[in-house]
């Protein structure tokens, strides 16, 4: 399958560029221990990631994807998690196989690259820097850059405006329903990674334009 050649490509972080679950799971489990509760383990946390750390903490407190903890529980837990994650943003996280090669290919083809994530800037920027890819991006739009975040199309359109690129000439690389929804609403093409975080669902269920197993496959598509 060949897609329209874009002028700009925006890339998600967690589940697309970076496997950040090992650090997030460590922080969730340590938070739970400090609260005197049982740890959840990495497998469960992997299904809860993808909507920002506040949502992750809420899910951890109730032990499931949907629902809300009490305000008292959240207000006690959230600061613990933030302190833990500030110290463990990139100790266990790593780039997925093929990411470095994919970024090199996109740069070699002259694509303008941006990063759009729901992760807060205080965690995103150090993570990208620690993994050596921060400077690949002409703009980094984080979960707290704007009043809205994905699945709202606002962050994608903000990046497109920054580069002076029309939506018809833009593409998103992501891994979740949130990425597909945002891209469709913005009028972008959307390619998804098969390996990412989509709450245990196959991303193909949400009909992105293409699904790939490695960013190295981009050379066959664009």
Quick one: pLDDT band at residue 217, thresholds 50, 70, 90?
very high
Residue (of 46, 41, 65, 40) closest to 55 by Cα position: 65
CATH number at residue 144: 3.40.50.1000
Residue 2 covered by a domain: no
Q: Which residue has the tokens 């850059």?
A: 145
In the structure, what pLDDT confidence band is assigned to residue 127 with cuts at 50, 70 and 90?
very high
* pTM of the complete model: 0.93
Task: Give mean pLDDT, residues 27-43.
Answer: 97
For residue 200, the model assigns a pLDDT of 85
Residue 176 and residue 114 share a domain: yes
Mean pLDDT (the chain, rounded) = 96
Domain that holds residue 156: 8-19+93-220
Judge if 125 and 63 occupy the same domain: no
Cα 162–Cα 166–Cα 168 angle in degrees, nearest 5? 140
Q: How far apart are CA 155 and CA 153, in angstroms?
A: 6
178 and 72: one domain? Answer: no
Instruction: Say whether pLDDT at 207 is over 80.
Output: yes
* φ/ψ bin of 67: left (φ > 0), alpha (ψ from -120 to 50), beta (otherwise): left
Tokens at residue 152, please? 């709202």
Q: Are 82 and 144 found together in one domain? A: no
- Tokens (6 digits) for 190: 């959307």
Q: What is the pLDDT of residues 161-204, one digit of tens each?
A: 999 999 999 999 999 999 999 999 999 999 999 999 988 899 99
pLDDT digits (tens, 9 = 90+) for 72-113: 999 999 999 999 999 999 999 999 999 999 999 999 999 999
Q: What is the tally of structural domains in the chain?
A: 2
Tell me: do 55 and 137 sit in the same domain. no
Looking at the fold, whether 145 and 192 belong to one and the same domain comes out as yes
- State whether 77 and 131 are in the same domain: no
> According to the model, what pLDDT value does residue 1 have?
57
Domain membership flag for residue 1: no
Inside any domain, residue 53:
yes
Instruction: Give pLDDT, residue 143.
Output: 94
Which residues are known to be catalytic? 12
Q: What is the pLDDT of residue 36?
A: 98
Q: Give a yes or no: residue 3 inside a domain.
A: no
Residue 192 lies in a domain: yes
């Amino acid at each position: 399958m060949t897609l329209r050649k874009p002028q700009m490509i925006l890339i998600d972080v967690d589940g697309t560029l970076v496997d950040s679950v090992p650090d997030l799971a460590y922080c969730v489990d340590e938070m739970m221990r400090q609260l005197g509760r049982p740890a959840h383990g990495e497998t469960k946390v992997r299904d809860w990631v993808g909507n920002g750390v506040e949502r992750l903490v809420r899910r951890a407190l109730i032990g499931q994807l949907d629902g809300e903890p009490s305000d008292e529980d959240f207000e006690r837990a959230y600061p613990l998690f933030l302190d833990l994650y500030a110290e463990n943003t990139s100790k266990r996280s790593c780039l997925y196989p093929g990411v470095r090669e994919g970024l090199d290919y996109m740069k070699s083809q002259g694509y303008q690259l941006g990063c759009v994530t729901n992760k807060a800037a205080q965690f995103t920027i150090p993570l990208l820097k620690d993994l050596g890819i921060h400077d690949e991006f002409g703009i980094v739009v984080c979960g707290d850059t704007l009043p809205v975040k994905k699945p709202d199309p606002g962050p994608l359109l903000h990046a497109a405006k920054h580069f002076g690129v029309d939506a018809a000439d833009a593409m998103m690389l992501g891994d979740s329903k949130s990425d597909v929804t945002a891209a469709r609403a913005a009028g972008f093409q959307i390619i998804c990674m098969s390996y990412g975080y989509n709450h245990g669902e196959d991303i193909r269920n949400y009909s992105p334009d293409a699904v790939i197993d490695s960013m190295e496959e981009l050379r066959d598509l664009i």
